Structure 1
């Protein structure tokens, strides 16, 4: 099956071309030599996301991702010495404001005026979008980043003759970052929250739903952060989070394309070998207690009616994970899947019906969501009953071997199609390296899917789909 990726190769050749190595300070590199075109895709995978935040500082991982594009000590500034002095002055003034009482309004006004003056002076020294300009000017495309509950990823593509430039830029970005234009970017993040959550009915619902479904685990908090927390973040907060978590042992670089592991190793030692390892950062993630009774959330919002049932499911690295992926396929793997065929085609009571795992992440045990969007004139109770009917049928009658074989073929093809993209492949390799310790487990998953038996999927369904493990959500 792996031969589908590149017709000229056999099924064992692609994994053999994946090479991984680590620097003494902890940075990990995963390289896949693939000279199909003179380009290279680069992914920087930071094993740090919103789940690493503490209460009261939510949104900091996502905010940091935004600030990582603001430049460095030499990129994005006309005069770093003058600029950093002004930024430090602003930080000091903001600290002074914290001790001002409501009765000292005149003193507060004077400090605000000084902050405005220093901010304006610092802004004059900024070369906006300088990092992006350099990347684009040198032929780079796809410059972007994404923060999830589990990780933060930075990615772009360069012509292969610009490989060393990527190393120079990325090492500078993570060794000498300058979190400039802080308040301006905070306003951007707050506006993003308004669009994604505050002014979006589904966003409001999902934020409340996660807080209902999880009692202790940080999966209950939104990646974007709570508005009050975002407003309270300081430059010092972000720098502290950066120094604690953006450390070599938490960062994996995925490099796929027209390059060689020898070239990458040489450049890695040159540009990243000088980073200090320091003390390993500790993480204490609260464990979610076992849910013992059904929970529910009902919200009246300006939205189409929604029906959701969430069930706690195993994490990415759990032994049951391959069976979980196949359970997804059985229930909602296309137009022939059980939920779509029954609720959408046959009964015509839903416009959409699906089951998906890994919400809001999958590094830790998370949620599998049963979802239905009722058809016009159909009730939430009717789609609830139809969903549960399908689940009970699955639990009692099991999965047919022919059905499972079809799902396996379909899932493999979807993986292999994704593997054809260098950027997607780089992301896959990074994720498996970070979550399982070995990038080649991205390929071994295909073999693990083959090992799953019908009864494995059925037994997982019987374990997961129980009332005490369920959180019901409705938008009326």
Structure 2
């Protein structure tokens, strides 16, 4: 029991320290914008001699044209492949082979796209030529050189991720290795080489087969989103459809890269054991001379208002699943803050309404959750996801959820419920800010999506002003049948 008590005391100290830090965040974040448009956010904290360095590019899959779907995700993979100096034994000798690979691959794709009219012998010949060229290019490749350099110098958590809204590269490093990070990342920003492009494209195609085509849950998710959005690219999978990936070329990827993955579309957060003025000088020295690219234009398409319920069924070899989604505005729209309250009111913790009713009392489901998706830059969906508990059915769970949503329209949220939500928000915000990486993530995320990292400070203040009447109004406005999307997974035997 003593060890448990000590853990609780330590946790309380950590949360209190993080809460105090969060309250002073407005004074602690230092901003600097380079002439090329790159935004630098810094927080000096000397808890340990380490630094979290995050680069967020304000370009994601929502910014792709119809013939570019999957590019942002594929580029995330490709930017680990190196530059003109890293990842290669001799770039001058490697480049002509890469050019031949591209020319051959484009010929092969042009023939394949003819489908029934394609020449099988030509396809066979070009396939063999491409394989031989890729084999020849391999002798120049130094695998994972970025990761090896970081690892040898004490780096950890080297990673990247792509979403609808953006692409992020991150690393945790010793504070005295910050210049190494600046040298590597500035080189990557201006000299990236998309070597092994078609090999990596095959890797992504296999990822798609494994995670979506062969997984009923993955197939339900992307089909549900595609059905919910008729016009807006929010409905398209970040990884791309298989035929999208098959038709991506290195030339197309390079154009996308040079256009958007540039300083004017980048937000950098450096959090940890730093001297802000020295950090500004360092970043200016390495990134200041890089030319800006093209600003990412806003998506002009507006999703038409939905005028009737949509239902999506996927039959597969998996247990039943249910998703219910309603179109809603995104941040910083006032109603988005109300949805944050509704989210926590319904599914956050054991005392939340849906958890108490569906999991504890009626034992209809094994789990239930709610969230906004698939992105946050443009109007999205408020989604409730549940897994029925056998022998209960999707239909039973669906009706039980609707009953709770109707309660939101007629039964006011209590003062105690709002206070509990505010307490949970404070705890979660404090937990996220306790680590350098968590704070760097939030700074880059909200600077990119909300237009200012100060959303971190303002969010809980805005939520505190939400009234029971706001919750009932929003529930009545958005939780309607004509605005509803229902997706469910049916076990194969039940659908035959």
- In 2, the alpha carbon distance for the partners of 1:297 and 1:437 equals 35
Q: Does 1:147 align with 2:158?
A: no
- In the alignment, which of 242, 246, 250 is matched to residue 257 of structure 2? 242
Q: Residues 56 and 267 of structure 2 are in contact (CA less than 8 Å); yes or no, is this contact kept in structure 1?
A: yes
* Post-superposition offset of 1:124: 0.5
My pick for the range that moved more, 113-122 or 8-17, is 8-17
CA RMSD of aligned residues (A): 2.0
- Give runs of aligned pairs for residues 295-314 of structure 1, distance below 5 A: 295-314=310-329
- In 1, the alpha carbon distance for the partners of 2:62 and 2:21 equals 40
For the residue of structure 2 that corresponds to 1:224, the secondary structure is coil
- Give runs of aligned pairs for residues 118-267 of structure 1, distance below 5 A: 118-267=133-282
- In 2, the alpha carbon distance for the partners of 1:139 and 1:327 equals 43
- In the alignment, which of 398, 407, 420 is matched to residue 393 of structure 1? 407
Q: Does 1:441 align with 2:455?
A: yes
Q: State the Cα deviation string for residues 179-232 of structure 1 (Å, max 9, x = none).
A: 011122112111111121011110011111111111001011111111111111
- In 1, the alpha carbon distance for the partners of 2:120 and 2:314 equals 41
5+ long unaligned stretches in structure 1: none
Corresponding residue of 1:384: 398
Q: State the Cα deviation string for residues 322-357 of structure 1 (Å, max 9, x = none).
A: 221111010011110000100111111111223222
For the residue of structure 1 that corresponds to 2:68, the secondary structure is coil
Given the superposition, is the C-alpha separation of residues 139 and 307 from structure 1 closer, same or farther in structure 2, using an over 3 Å criterion? Answer: same
Corresponding residue of 1:364: 378
Given the superposition, is the C-alpha separation of residues 177 and 391 from structure 1 closer, same or farther in structure 2, using an over 3 Å criterion? Answer: same
* Post-superposition offset of 1:109: 4.4
For the residue of structure 2 that corresponds to 1:24, the secondary structure is coil
Corresponding residue of 1:472: 486
Q: Residues 3 and 11 of structure 1 are in contact (CA less than 8 Å); yes or no, is this contact kept in structure 2?
A: no
Q: How many residues align?
A: 475
Corresponding residue of 1:328: 343
For the residue of structure 2 that corresponds to 1:300, the secondary structure is strand
Q: State the Cα deviation string for residues 237-274 of structure 1 (Å, max 9, x = none).
A: 11111122212221101111001221221011101111
- In 2, the alpha carbon distance for the partners of 1:80 and 1:51 equals 33
* Post-superposition offset of 1:382: 1.3
Corresponding residue of 1:456: 470
- In 2, the alpha carbon distance for the partners of 1:241 and 1:223 equals 15
5+ long unaligned stretches in structure 2: 1-11, 491-496
Corresponding residue of 2:3: none
Q: Residues 5 and 417 of structure 1 are in contact (CA less than 8 Å); yes or no, is this contact kept in structure 2?
A: no
TM-score of the two chains, using structure 2 as the length reference: 0.92
- In 2, the alpha carbon distance for the partners of 1:248 and 1:426 equals 18
TM-score of the two chains, using structure 1 as the length reference: 0.95
- In the alignment, which of 266, 277, 281 is matched to residue 292 of structure 2? 277
Q: Residues 377 and 449 of structure 2 are in contact (CA less than 8 Å); yes or no, is this contact kept in structure 1?
A: yes
